[in-house]
């Protein structure tokens, strides 16, 4: 069975946020998702668009979270917590957040997006050209880098896919070069476009 079919079965063929029944697709939780049923949600085009483009968010649309916050499925709860955190200045989302319960590991994953932080608290990672980096992005090294603690040299032009961000230091990202997970300083990378 496909992931889409699994999610349709889990959700009863409706958006796991607002219960819409048309234009449904798989939304994989960012930034660090395990993918699959445990890291994805079935959502409508409206919900996905507003999650991915915060400036288009219509707070009233998300009053549906009053119901979906009680989902028994972790990815749904995590995504709901993130959206409520993003909207908390509206007032009513904070009330729902106060009622919501997440296991420790669910809360840790929910906080990975940084939606619970005020803009002034967020650590923003930028590449050598000033482009904003997000977890899951791919970057390319712009100079040869010696890997601390080994004789390995990561060569200029090496692509590092699905990076993760250091949440305490805006200059550090992590990614795999070959089989080795390394910490990379953002000054030495350039964000790759979707096409590269």
Q: Which of 43-52, 107-116, 178-187 has the highest mean pLDDT?
A: 43-52
Higher-confidence position of 190 and 31: 190
- Confidence label for 48 from pLDDT (cuts 50, 70 and 90): very high
- List of domains in the chain: 3-111 (no CATH), 123-191 (2.30.30.40)
* % the chain with pLDDT above 90: 32
pLDDT at 166 over 90: no
- Confidence label for 129 from pLDDT (cuts 50, 70 and 90): confident
> Which residues have C-beta within 8 Å of that of residue 107, sequence separation ≥ 6?
81
The answer to whether the CB of 78 falls within 8 A of the CB of 102 is yes
- Mean local confidence (pLDDT), 30-43: 78
* pLDDT for position 177: 85
* pLDDT for position 67: 92
* pLDDT for position 195: 58
Whole-angstrom Cα Rg for the chain: 19
* pLDDT for position 33: 56
Helix boundaries (H) for the chain = 3-11, 45-52, 65-68, 74-87, 92-99, 104-111
CA distance 46 to 184: 36
- Confidence label for 65 from pLDDT (cuts 50, 70 and 90): very high
* pLDDT for position 77: 94
pLDDT at 116 over 60: no
pLDDT at 15 over 60: yes
pLDDT averaged over the chain? Answer: 85
pLDDT at 152 over 70: yes
* pLDDT for position 81: 93
């Amino acid at each position: 069975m496909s992931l889409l079919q699994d999610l349709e079965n889990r959700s009863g063929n409706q958006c796991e946020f607002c219960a819409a029944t048309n234009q449904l697709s798989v939304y994989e939780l960012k930034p660090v998702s395990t993918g699959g049923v445990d890291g994805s949600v079935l959502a409508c085009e409206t919900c996905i668009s507003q999650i991915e483009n915060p400036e288009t968010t219509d707070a009233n649309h998300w009053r549906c979270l009053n119901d979906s916050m009680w989902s028994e499925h972790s990815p749904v709860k995590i995504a709901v917590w993130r959206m409520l955190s993003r909207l908390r200045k509206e007032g009513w989302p904070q009330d729902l957040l106060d009622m919501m319960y997440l296991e420790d590991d669910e809360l840790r994953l929910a906080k990975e997006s940084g939606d619970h932080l005020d803009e002034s608290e967020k650590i923003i990672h930028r590449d050598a050209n000033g482009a904003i980096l997000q977890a899951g992005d791919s970057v390319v090294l712009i100079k040869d880098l010696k890997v601390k603690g080994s004789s390995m040299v990561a060569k200029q032009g090496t692509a590092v896919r699905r990076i993760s961000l250091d949440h305490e230091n805006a200059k550090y990202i992590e990614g795999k070069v070959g089989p080795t997970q390394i910490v990379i300083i953002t000054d030495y990378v350039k964000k790759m476009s979707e096409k590269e």
